[in-house]
């Protein structure tokens, strides 16, 4: 779900870069030294999950895991996801450096949103934790698709059909992502509750 170089208009690129810079600055302020390892681990998980692509129609899909990252990191998801996107762009030419700001918003903003929507449910009970994970995985991918479509549409209204095709192709991914995220969050809370990022409640 990366937007490549040369696709978006200059105003969309500039807006994306500015918004990403602001959110990244806020995210960095939430990271303490003791939590740096957790941020790095989750950034690595996001980096690896996005490398395995499956072609479906005019688009390709892959696990994203921004729901996991967002639910556990909150605002700190922005610098974590941005770091992974930079490495993907430099090492594998996924997306592009000029589109980095927009791609970060597409991936990281939904991650932050699901944290504040469903984060309070985590740890309450096994059922609520899994539900929070499932909803975070599903909603984060849905919101990412919508933001991607909006970015393309803001560049050229003719991209509307392409945007709808991308959203449709990702419907199975939303469900799978929800299930995977639910199990991941349930497992982590049970065996390693220290990974829950307390700094985001400020």
Q: Are 149 and 127 in contact (CB under 8 A)?
A: no
| Residues 6 or more apart whose Cβ sits within 8 Å of residue 157 | none
Report the alpha-carbon distance of residue 169 to residue 125 in Å, rounded.
33
> Residue 91 burial by CB count (10 A; 0-12/13-18/19+): exposed, middle or buried?
exposed
Minimum mean pLDDT range among 112-116, 183-187, 198-202: 198-202
Q: In this predicted structure, what is the pLDDT of residue 127?
A: 94
Angle, CA 178 vertex, CA 67 and CA 78 arms, to 5°: 5
Strands (E), 122-189: none
Confidence of residue 201 (pLDDT cuts 50, 70, 90): very low
Whether pLDDT at 39 is above 50: yes
Q: In this predicted structure, what is the pLDDT of residue 200?
A: 47
Minimum mean pLDDT range among 48-52, 53-57, 169-173: 53-57
Residue % of the chain over a pLDDT of 90:
44
Domains and CATH numbers, the chain: 10-201 (1.10.1760.20)
What are the respective helix, strand and coil percentages of the chain, to the nearest 5? 80, 5, 20
Residue % of the chain over a pLDDT of 70:
90
Confidence of residue 8 (pLDDT cuts 50, 70, 90): confident
Whether pLDDT at 73 is above 50: yes
**Tally of residues, the chain:** 202
Q: Name the pTM for this structure.
A: 0.85
Q: In this predicted structure, what is the pLDDT of residue 19?
A: 95
Q: DSSP states of 54-94 as a string?
A: EEETTEEE----HHHHHHHHGGGHHHHHHHHHHHHHHHH--
Among 4-8, 17-21, 91-95, 197-201, the range with the most confident prediction by mean pLDDT is: 17-21
Average pLDDT over residues 125-135: 94
At 201, list the tokens.
């409640």
Is residue 192 classed as helix, strand or coil in its secondary structure? Answer: coil
Whether pLDDT at 55 is above 70: no
């Amino acid at each position: 779900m990366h937007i490549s170089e040369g696709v978006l208009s200059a105003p969309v690129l500039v807006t994306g870069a500015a918004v990403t810079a602001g959110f990244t600055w806020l995210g960095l302020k939430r990271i303490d030294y003791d939590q740096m390892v957790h941020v790095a681990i989750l950034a690595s998980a996001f980096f690896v999950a996005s490398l395995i692509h499956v072609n479906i129609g005019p688009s390709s899909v892959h696990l994203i895991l921004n729901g996991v990252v967002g639910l556990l990191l909150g605002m700190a998801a922005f610098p974590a996801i941005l770091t992974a996107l930079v490495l993907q762009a430099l090492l594998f030419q996924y997306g592009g450096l000029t589109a980095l700001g927009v791609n970060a918003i597409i991936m990281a903003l939904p991650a932050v949103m699901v944290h504040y929507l469903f984060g309070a449910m985590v740890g309450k009970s096994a059922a609520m934790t899994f539900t929070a994970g499932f909803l975070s995985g599903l909603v984060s991918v849905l919101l990412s698709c919508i933001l991607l479509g909006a970015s393309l549409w803001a560049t050229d209204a003719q991209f509307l059909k392409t945007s709808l095709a991308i959203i449709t192709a990702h419907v199975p991914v939303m469900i799978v992502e929800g299930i995977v995220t639910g199990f991941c969050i349930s497992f982590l809370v049970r065996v390693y509750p220290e990974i829950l990022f307390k700094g985001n409640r400020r």
